[in-house]
Amino acid sequence: MKKLTSLFAALAWSLGALGTLTTAQAADQDLVARGQYLARAGDCMACHSAAGKPAYSGGLAIDSGHGIIYSTNITPDKEHGIGNYSEAQFSAAVRHGVRADGTQLYPAMPYPSYAKVSDEDIHALYTYFMQGVQPVASTPPASSMSFPFNIRWGMKLWNVFFANDKPFREQDGWSAEIKRGAYLVEGLGHCGSCHTPRGVAMNEKASDSSQAQFLSGGDLNGWAVPSLRGMPHWSAQDIVDYLQTGRNKTASVAGEMSLVVEHSTSHLKREDLQAMAAYLKTLSPVASSGSGRVIPQGVDATVSKLTAAKDLTLGERLYLDNCAACHFVTGRGAPGIFPVLDGATVVNAENPSALLHVILAGARTPSTEKAPSILVMPGFAHRLSDEEAAALATFVRQGWGNHAGKVSEREVGKLRAGMDKQH
């Protein structure tokens, strides 16, 4: 009888231990899933994954303007990746730009923004990268930077003067939704890395919403990047649609933002996208950068002339030949399909580089869960000379109600040469 009792007791203990183990495993799985979601919010995949290579194995070439930086392998491979990192070392790399061996990272890794990530989220990210990512045994090429940026220890001085490693701080009066949106935009989303102007040392001139230059627009690899402050021409729903699908009723993504939507924002929960939109709408807008000296052609005058198709300028003729089939003589496009040109921020920007990029190289929306179809605008670099591209861009920037400055043939030539160099 004692043996039978002991057997039942051992069985009961085993079942209890199994239940505890199952609960622990479920907790780990939940933590891994949370870390995976946060990695999407941080857009880690876009930079640490190269075309044709496994996810997070690094090797993506990033043109810093001072040389090429290759992203690192952040898979849990113990020799080639971060498999030997402790959580403290992982945190130091993510939030302070210091590798486990003490080497300084370049701020192409947006650690000044990631400094705002909470301890709890760092723990979830660490768990995901150690348990939820497949290890890859490959070492990316070494970065090649020009002097003095090739001196890694010099980044310590850069950090002293320019890196803000303060944790996230909410502003007085923020609702829970706005606080969540601010945390995502200022921290994991690192939106300021592209949308905040940079100084002579490639430092972001502002780090949070308490500073007027934060998210006020900038320049990225020859692209004019728009301000996100207030976004007065878009509703909160327009912002959510854009981040979730890569398009809304007036615009579509292009350039680097296509990758952000593909790898990051299209995977976020709707409530998080709504929080981000709510936060951006609280920021005071930047004054229009359009030239006050340019008098728009006027909507009626532009539509009438394009419709009549008589006595056209070179830019007007090129628009009818290349653009009107999709954007129409009204410049209004088709909601959710062909972007609006009349009044568009990219068209009226003081710097015409983003518009010229789209004209020459085209654009392609990503396939997302909510908008699986891919919309493609062809590039016209092969069929337009520098003179023609300049004339077309000038017409678009001054037709209808647009009021931006003239584009020169020299500007097109310089941008085209840069694009050819990148390819």
Please enumerate, by residue number, every residue annotated as part of a binding site for heme c.
44, 47-48, 191, 194-195, 323, 326-327
Closest CA to 197 of 219, 180, 172: 219
* CA distance readout (Å), 167 to 13, 104, 116: 45, 20, 4
- The DSSP letter of residue 185 is I
* CA distance readout (Å), 271 to 177, 198, 215, 236, 268: 9, 31, 22, 12, 8
H-assigned helices in 2-153: 2-41, 44-48, 87-96, 111-114, 119-131
Tell me, what amino acid is at 47?
A: C
C-beta of residue 251 within 8 angstroms of C-beta of residue 340: yes
Q: CA-to-CA distance for 280 and 285, rounded, in angstroms?
A: 10
Tell me, what amino acid is at 293?
A: R
- Three-state SS annotation for 327-365: HCCCCCCECCCECCCCCCHHHHCCCCHHHHHHHHHCEEC
φ, ψ at 123 (rounded to 5°): -65, -45
Residues 6+ apart with CB under 8 A from 281: 230, 231, 236, 239
Retrieve residue 61's tokens.
């070439």
C-beta of residue 226 within 8 angstroms of C-beta of residue 197: no
Q: CA-to-CA distance for 67 and 210, rounded, in angstroms?
A: 32
Instruction: Give residue 149's Cα distance to chain centre.
Output: 24
Binding residue ranges: 44, 47-48, 191, 194-195, 323, 326-327
What pairing do the DSSP bridges indicate for beta strands 223-225 and 218-220?
antiparallel
Q: CA-to-CA distance for 324 and 379, rounded, in angstroms?
A: 15
CA angle 219, 224, 228 (to 5 degrees): 85
